[in-house]
Amino acid sequence: MTRPLSTIAPGWWDYTTLDPEILADAAQLTADDLYGLSRPGFRVAFYDSLEEFYLAEALEYINTWRQSTADNPVGICGPIGPTEQLPLVARLVNDLDLDLHSAHFWGMDEWFLNGKEAPEDHPLSFARADKELCFNRIRPNLAMPGANLHFPQADPRAYEASWQGVRCAVMQGGQGEVKHWAFNDPVRREGAYTHEPPSPEAYRALGTRVVELHPLTLIQNARTSGGGNIPLVPTHAITVGPSQTWQAERVSIWHPGTHDNPFGIRLTALMISKGIADSAVPMSLLAQHPDVRFHYYRGAIGTCEAEMH
């Protein structure tokens, strides 16, 4: 049976190509239903205020870096969306006098422009945002050495090598409207993937790489970072691979309600909980990861009922 064409972009795979029954089941989930999707290997947590939400997100950095020693370095891979936790991380490091000399950090992604990674003076540079919002605010005597800060580059070899010999305790991220983590977007519906998207096994084997962004991702990034100016958003990016994701002991996804919508944050939780892995919904592949946490700001869970505006 041929899967339906995407109603967003017919030349691509995305969640609108799923079995309609899965979509209908996701839309019906209440907040209590969401909480009940927890199972061994997948945990759902709620936070009643944004302050508590972002503090808990920041504490993942602190609790990770506190494990690090010179002979057993530990790091965290972190996102640009959300970013509200990053200044809190710097404040906590400074106030707790947390020495980061053995700790590591991996950025999840970066824009790809003119054949290379975006320079840090680009207004949308992710490396620049990480440094301005967090790392440049940490006292020099506590700061992580520059060699322990790892950002994806067009040539991924050095970035991928940095994952060897360092334990990644947590990969932290958000969820985009196309149901990605980092920029692990669905692929175009062409060539070998005309009739079916890549198998979960094939997608999971992908490393850090340059990707073409799904049209929905371009729209979302224009909305959240460019005032809606879509031509400002690059069409390609460099993203941490699923192969690195499966080197992380835990994948921790944070849903503040600003990056995906009530339907999207239900759909991926349902698929992960029920073990439904489909690369048209890249986040659903985390159903196969041994330790995944979804964190929700309760005020953003909302409903999927029809409502005119």
Query: Model confidence at 159, in pLDDT bands (50, 70, 90)?
Result: very high
Residue-level pLDDT at 223: 85
Residue-level pLDDT at 308: 77
Residue-level pLDDT at 259: 87
**Sheet containing 209-212, strands listed edge to edge, beginning at the edge strand earlier in sequence:** 116-117, 109-113, 236-239, 209-212
Q: The pTM is what?
A: 0.95
Q: Do 50 and 298 form a contact (C-beta atoms < 8 A)?
A: no
Structure tokens, 213? 């962004």
- Secondary structure element (H or E) that encloses residue 206, with its range: none
DSSP 84-128: THHHHHHHHHHHHT---TT-EEEE-EEEEETTEEPPTTSTT-HHH
SS3 for 302? coil
pLDDT digits (tens, 9 = 90+) for 129-156: 999 999 999 999 999 999 999 999 999 9
pLDDT digits (tens, 9 = 90+) for 267-287: 999 999 999 999 999 999 999
Residue 305 has pLDDT above 90, yes or no: no
pLDDT digits (tens, 9 = 90+) for 243-264: 999 999 999 999 999 889 999 9
Q: What is d(CA 150, CA 131) in angstroms, rounded to the nearest whole number?
A: 12
Q: What is d(CA 23, CA 25) in angstroms, rounded to the nearest whole number?
A: 5
pLDDT digits (tens, 9 = 90+) for 11-47: 999 999 999 999 999 999 999 999 999 999 999 999 9
Residue-level pLDDT at 238: 98
- Please tell me the number of Cα atoms within 13 Å of 58 on its side-chain side: 19
- Average confidence (pLDDT) over 155-160: 97
Q: What is d(CA 99, CA 62) in angstroms, rounded to the nearest whole number?
A: 11
- Secondary structure element (H or E) that encloses residue 42, with its range: strand 42-47
39-108+119-209+246-256+264-299 fold: Rossmann fold (3.40.50)
Cα–Cα distances in Å, from 307 out to 19, 263, 297, 302, 303? Answer: 24, 13, 21, 12, 10
pLDDT digits (tens, 9 = 90+) for 200-241: 999 999 999 999 999 999 999 888 877 888 888 899 999 999
Residue 1, burial from CB neighbour count under 10 angstroms (0-12, 13-18, 19+) = exposed
